Chains A and B, each alone.
Chain A
Amino acid sequence: MNGYLALTYWDLAAASVFLILNAIFSIALNLGLARTLIVSALRMTVQLVLVGLILKAIFFAGSLWWTLLAAAVMAAFAAREIRARQKRRLDGFWGVGLGAGAMLLAGSLVTLYALAGLIRPEPVWQPQYALPLFGMILGNTMTGVSLGLDTLHTALAQGKREVEARLLLGGTRWEATRPALRQALRSGFTPIINAMAATGVVSLPGMMTGQILSGVDPREAVKYQLMIMFLLGGATGLGVLGATFASIWRLTDTRHRLRLDRLDKR
């Protein structure tokens, strides 16, 4: 590919100079950050090197099953992350299942739509396209869903009296939880809305930067980036909507009671 300048491992070592300098400052000033800084930098290095090797192997194998397996592993990590990011979560299976289910449903739907309908690689599941796309969509949906659920559960737990006041006045469970739902939706949508607003003005998105650095015409890179942002916004929205509505359904019952006993006690 023309205009693409490969990096050597020595370049990488040189790039880490400033990070190491930060660690030294931290030790000198006794900030206590050096350890976490170095550990997370090393952790990232190991993760990325491994991912590079694995992706290379999967691209080389060109097998549908390996691609699906990689997608499944990504989804499992994202599911765990959604669970960990909620201060109050649903009890039992629902604590993982509901958020992960919404994320996976929205993420898969949008990824398949983009692959089969827009990008159309041959074959459709070609890992060079499918995996990075699925990863980006999953990551954003994950953030949205975990923020949405965390806000919803906190709002319901802290606003029990307000919700029950509306129920007592003959409101349905959906009417009574409307303010909490709105708050949750807004917080779930915020990151993607902010990203759309700031994109290109404050920072160039990572994927577009990558394409430009590897020699792609900026106009083409912009087209790709726009498509990705539309997909991310769509998937995040679907995921957040699905997760919050499902969670309200779970935290209320058919007799229109608020069932905070179905939140994990912590």
Chain B
Amino acid sequence: MSNENNKTVLSIKDLKVDFETATGTVNAVRGVNIHVEAGETVAIVGESGSGKSQTMMAAMGLLASNGRTQGEVIYEDRNILGLPVGQLNKVRGEKITMIFQEPMTSLDPLYTIGRQLAEPMVVHGGLSWKAARAKALDLLRLVNIPEPERKIKAYPYEMSGGQRQRVMIAMALANDPDVLIADEPTTALDVTTQAQILDLLRDLQKRLGMAVIFITHDLGIVRRISDRVYVMKTGDVVESGDTQKIFTQPEHPYTKMLLDAEPTGHKPPVPESAPVLLEAQKVEVEFELDTGFLQPKHVLRAVDNISFSLRKGQTLGIVGESGSGKSTLGRAILNLLPAGGRVVFHGKQISGLDRNAMRALRKDMQLIFQDPFGSLSPRMTVGQIISEGLLVHEPSLSAQDRDARACQALEEVSLDPVMRNRYPHEFSGGQRQRIAIARTMVLKPEFVVLDEPTSALDRTIQKQVVELLRDLQKAHELTYLFISHDLAVVRALSDTVMVMQGGKVVEAGPADAIFEDPKQDYTKELVGAAMLTQQHMMETA
């Protein structure tokens, strides 16, 4: 690993960050040493709660008001940590700039893009508003915003997430900074947009030569763009070194665990003789968009003419970016929203059945949601949440029997049955998702729609949940419809994969064929963007 030298532009020394909370002091960062050289890209990687963002927030004087710092942040031979705001403002926004995780909210909704881009240039560069505006236009061109003359007058709400993130990058570059701190800049974006933003950042760094500190939880991104890596865990840097070395010879067990957390493996195929469980024919969902009084209705085809069939024990992975209609398809299959076409389950047509007729079938067709925080009632114990479905579907069970079934379900998802008397807020995200899975499994379903079940979880937790889903499928011969934008997870779990875009199927086929030999341009772009090909090459190399 490289040590500090005369090329070092920013150096964080023994930085500690504490938060005073009502329940005591939280040590978010516990003595971290990080430095970055001119023209270098350094990644800080870690899971949620590792203190990676707070380290950089503290360095920039952006902590919440209950945050306390100790240590040094050296920029140009001067400690900038704890400087008065007036002096700190001579550095931040000019020499050290930041891009944030939330492109949708990081720009002020009340001002035009042009005005917001101009502000730092007027404040730091001493430009007139007119000159700053002219330069803002150049910057928009630099970050490849289409129609910059028009977009400079646009408000943030008129732009997509990817475009807003480009604007943020333009803002970061406005004063020709020495260091650019990017805090999870692509996490909230679709994979293809993510790839474009990363390419843009890399290209701009090459041309402009600034140092980049890249905070992320995504190892794929680390491998793709960084020269050096710091691995953080619960407020400490546990390992650091050249990217190549970290990936090939990790030393710390946590680093190994992180690397190992990339979902791998394949699903064993289902025998040809397995019976067809579910068949969807030409499923269509249309939404009427509200365009105003007496205006012609605008119809959005969220799901357009989709057919597939699933044999017992199979998993169909549905991938696509946000707005592709994948979740809508999942709900249409379960008859949770009005849809055209035909869905046949166990040889019986279920499309068009009313609520009461569907209720008997609901036991066999279940749904697991993405958000493990919002989908469990905060006012019920875990035991009540899990056994609630039994009240409807197996009313003959006694309270004791229901409790026993809840215990059994909890054991099945590797949670201690003693926990059934606790409330959801006492559990972590991963544990909550296990509870959600237990709630589904207690009914012994045959078919489960999994709507992004792992997207809100850290990679290591995600891997455990994937393993759990796999085990449950094997044990109960479950049939899954697995919806995700995460191609690595889909690949690890699915027999067949369907790629969706704008409500239509772009490409469908066996998982390996789709990922290794994509035929359609969009699939190629998606797979390339997800960096699976690169990963695959490294695996086989």
- The answer to whether A and B assemble together is no
